[in-house]
Structure formats: structure tokens, C-alpha cells
Structure 1
Amino acid sequence: MATSSTVRAEERRSAILAIVNREGAAQLEKLAVDLGVSPMTVRRDLDDLEAEGLLRRVRGGAIAISGPRLFGERRAVRARAKQVIAAKAKTLLPTMGAIALDASSTVAALAPALNSHAGLTVATNSYENFTAIRSAQNITAVLIGGEQEPSTGSFVGKLACDAAESMLYQCFFTSASAVDADHGSSEVSLAESQVKHAFARRSRQLVLCVDSSKLDATAIATTFDLTEVHLLITELDPADPRLDAYRKHTQLL
């Protein structure tokens, strides 16, 4: 019974987050009516979502968090979900060649798994991810330089794109600010989106790693159509109904 209750709470919070991200804001009382629960229940859900860094509480409801965020802020958000995603993603690591990791904190959770994949070359446009990769034994870490995006700490711009396209990758592991079944993945920064396109153009396989809080939402800059994505990884079971809108476009893990 407790497990069923937990699942319902997770689904309710995902629904709340989707509404807030889509509308930009939501009123507590209206959420309670729409979801068929008490205002007290919604208030607890909003408090929990704020504690995870997924929205901001305001008087009478909540507003969406917009704009790029520093890596340190993003790393603490939905940490358990990122670990589940990383556990799935590590099964896709090749035994040789090169892979690319974007500047996301979600993909950063994959770094510890590289210790068991000696011989790989791993490229990223994130100094934080580069530092984590470099600590792995017998891994060649490559930092894609360029202009530093001050609000995210990642490297972007023409130099970053040119460097990203100078190698051939077995797989590109990337995340997104938001994912929508109709519009695909999107970012809060056009510059971030451009570097991801550069990595993808040189990759045999594109793997999109996002936690469920990113689903059913859009950001500013379009990045990948879901038909371009070879595999979508979330912390959810692939059979979860929340993924129904996505399974017709791409493979799920």
C-alpha cells in the first residue's frame, strides 16, 4: 500500500511540475481542484518540489524556474533519479573508441562508471565533467574549449562546436532542459543547443538522459527531434504510462 501511495505522489508531483513549466505559474487552489486532492496535499507537493530545486514557491502557488543555472546548483537537483539514469546508461558504454558527454549534471553521474572502461576517450564541454572523467583510470579525457557560458559554466561558441566536430564518437550522452513528445528536446540557451548538435553530428548513437521532471515541457532553443534520438533514458520503468507519448518516437530504457 505504501508503494502504491508513493507512486501516486510521484505522478501527482510530475503533473504539477508539468503544469507549472507549461504555464509559467500555478495557483495552489486550482491545482487542488484539477488534481482532485486537498490544498494541504498540494502545498506539501509544492514544498517538496521546491526543496528539489524544481520550482519556486510564491504566495498562493508556485512559479517556474527559468534561465540557465550553474553546474553546482543543477547537480543537487533530483540526485537519486540521476543515479538511476546513470546505472542504465553505463550498460551502453562501448569497450573502445570515443564517447561524448555534454555539460549536464545528469550525464555527470555517469563518470564513476568509466573506471571499468579503460581505453576509452571521453570528450566533454564541461570543466566539471572533465575533472570527474580525468580521475578515472586509463581514460583519455578531452575538454572541448571555447567561450565559457557564464550562467552554466559550460564551453560554447564556434570554437567549441569546431572542436566537438573534430572527433568521431561511438555514443553521445546528453540531457536537456525540457523534453516534449511533439517538439523534442530543448534548452534554455541557444549556445548550449548548438554545441550539442555538433557532438551529435559526429556520433553513431544519440542517447538522451533526462529525469521525469523534464518531461512534457519546453524551453527556448529546440535541440533534437525525438526521431533523431536513438534511446531515451529516464529513471522511470519504460512501461510507465508517463512515457506513453514518447514510446512511438524513440526507444526507451
Structure 2
Amino acid sequence: MSMTSSVHGEQRRRILGEMLERDGSVTLVAAALELGVSEMTIRRDLADLEAEGVARRVRGGATQVVGPRSFRDRSAQRRSAKARIAQKAMDLVPTAGAIAIDASTTAGALGSVLTKHPDLVVVTNSWDNFRSVRRAGVKRAILTGGEVDELTDSLVGPVACRAAASHGYRTVFAGANGVEAEFGASDVSLEEAQVKVEFARAADAVVLLADSSKVGGRDLARSFAWDEVSVLVTELDPSDERLAELRSRVELR
């Protein structure tokens, strides 16, 4: 329900921060309606939150700035969007051979529904995603090994990179913390990005999985330029205006 009167700036920014934490993004229109103020006021508030490092402004609103977080924390965010992405990405999963899924929770959502692909070989650098793939019934799931990133629960470092590069993949399915038209796909650390790069070097195709809160964002380390990505899968319809700047860069699903 919309608020009947406007709230003062500090309270507005606190509420906007809570909305970003809950949903991953906010739009000017919805936030202005919710808080009973103008879109211009919300735009100024989001500029303040961006200066504080809490938000990243994008066309029509803002997305949450997220640093390294545990797998459990990331799994709790945007579950319905991830489920929709996994459903759409299933059409891109080969019937045989090997695939790689990275340590993202979005790729993990795909791994958890591979129930009709028991004969695939699936390689991942995430213990959580490894278990999800095994629970789905995949007979040959391979964990890369490597150093545990205590902040993200992923496996990184030289051992993980060598293992990632030691197989040939039909497709690699990878998440991203930021998806921007000019910069490409990006992640929270160079170590995270490097494992994805090694997966991709050994793959015939790269499928990027990213929910709409990542669109327009840029994080620390670039993982893929657009000419390295075969398909971008989001929960949005490909015709959605939020994807307009990406439409000429990559195939959208």
C-alpha cells in the first residue's frame, strides 16, 4: 500500500535501502508511488545512496551494490527470477557431453533441475552446486577443487583454474554480478572471474545467466566481453525495455 504522505529524507533512504536488499533493484516509478514523493526526489535519494556505495543507478531506477557474499545469502535473493532463468536455460542444455556451471546461485538453480540429463558430465567450482547437480540425478558431477573463497563459498585459485581448463565443454553456464552494454559481464573479484574465463576457454559456447537486478551494473572484474558470450538469459522477455542497450550486443533469451 502506498504511503499517504511523504517521509523525510533519512527515512526514505533507509526504506529504499531495504527495498534494494529485498528485491535487488528499485524503479523510480514504484518507489515514488510507495513513498508518496516525486520521481525527482527518488532520483536524488538514489544519487545519495550511490555516493554511499549502497546503490548503482541504472536507467529508470537503481540496483543494489553487492560485494562478496556467502552462497546461502545469495541463494535467498531473487529466487523466482532464478527459477525462471533456469527454466528458460534448460532449452540450451545439451543432451550429452560435458557442461560447466560456475559457482553462482543462478547457475546452481539450473543445476538443480537437470533431472532429465543423468548422462551429462557436469563440472563446477561450487560445493553447493555440485550437491545440487548430484541430487538432480546427474551421474558424473565433478568438483574442481581449489582454495575456498570464504566470502563467496566458491573454489578459486590455480588448482580450480587448472581443473576448469582440463575438460572440453559443450556449454558453460555462468552467472554475473554485473551486466553492462559497454563493459560486458563482471564479477566481485579477479579470482572469481578467472575460473569463469578458464571454463569458457574450454567451451564451445558461453551462456550467461543474470537476473534483471544485474542489468546495467558493473563490478570489479570483467569476466566476459560480449563477443565471448553466445546467449544472455534473464527472467525478462527479450523485448523488455530494460534490455534495450543489450539487444544489439548479444542474443537474448
- Scaled by the length of structure 1, the TM-score of the pair is 0.78
Tell me what 2:126 maps to.
126
* 8 Å contact from structure 2 (residues 121, 138) kept in 1: no
- 1:150-186: CA deviation from partner (whole Å, max 9, x where unpaired): 1111110111110001100010000111011000011
Residue in 1 aligned with 2:20?
A: 49
The aligned counterpart of 1:162 is: 162
For residues 53 and 245 of structure 1, the distance between their equivalents in structure 2, rounded to whole angstroms, comes to 20
Which residue does 1:104 correspond to in 2?
A: 104
Match of 1:147 in 2: 147
Q: Which runs of 5+ in 1 are unaligned?
A: 1-27, 30-38
Give the SS at the match of 1:206: strand
State the shift of 1:190 in Å: 0.5
| Rounded Cα–Cα distance in structure 2 between residues aligned with 1:143 and 1:72 | 19
SS at match of 1:245: helix
Deviation at 1:148, TM superposition (A): 0.9
> For 2:201 and 2:103, how far apart are their aligned partners in 1?
17
- Give the 3 Å change call, closer, same or farther, for CA 138–124 of structure 1 in structure 2: closer
Asked if 1 retains the 8 angstrom alpha-carbon contact of 2:100 and 2:124, the reply is yes
Give the match's secondary structure for 2:151.
coil
Distance 2:144 2:174 in 1: 15
Within 5 Å, give how 1:15-26 maps onto structure 2.
none
| Shift, 1:48, TM fit | 2.9
8 A Cα contact 1:114 1:139, kept in partner: no
Give the superposition deviation at 1:45.
5.5
Give the distance between the partners of 2:67 and 2:20, measured in 1 at CA. 17
Letter in 2 for 1:51: R
State the Cα deviation string for residues 62-97 of structure 1 (Å, max 9, x = none): 423442000000001111100110000011111110
Distance 1:215 1:53, change over 3 A: closer
CA distance in 1, matches of 2:164, 2:238: 31
1:1-253 equivalence runs, <5 A:
46-52=17-23, 62=49, 63-64=54-55, 65-253=65-253
Aligned to 1:9: none
Cα distance change of structure 1 residues 242 and 154 upon mapping to structure 2, 3 Å threshold: same
Count how many residue pairs are aligned between Structure 1 and Structure 2: 212
Structure 1 residues 168 and 183: alpha-carbon distance in aligned structure 2, compared to 1, 3 A threshold: same
> Could you give the per-residue CA deviations for residues 112-139 of structure 1, whole angstroms, max 9, x where no partner exists?
3211112100000000000111122252
* 2:169 alignment partner, SS class: coil
Deviation at 1:43, TM superposition (A): 7.5
Kept after mapping to 1: 8 A contact 2:169/2:203: yes
Identity %: 44
CA contact (8 A) 2:114 2:138 kept: no
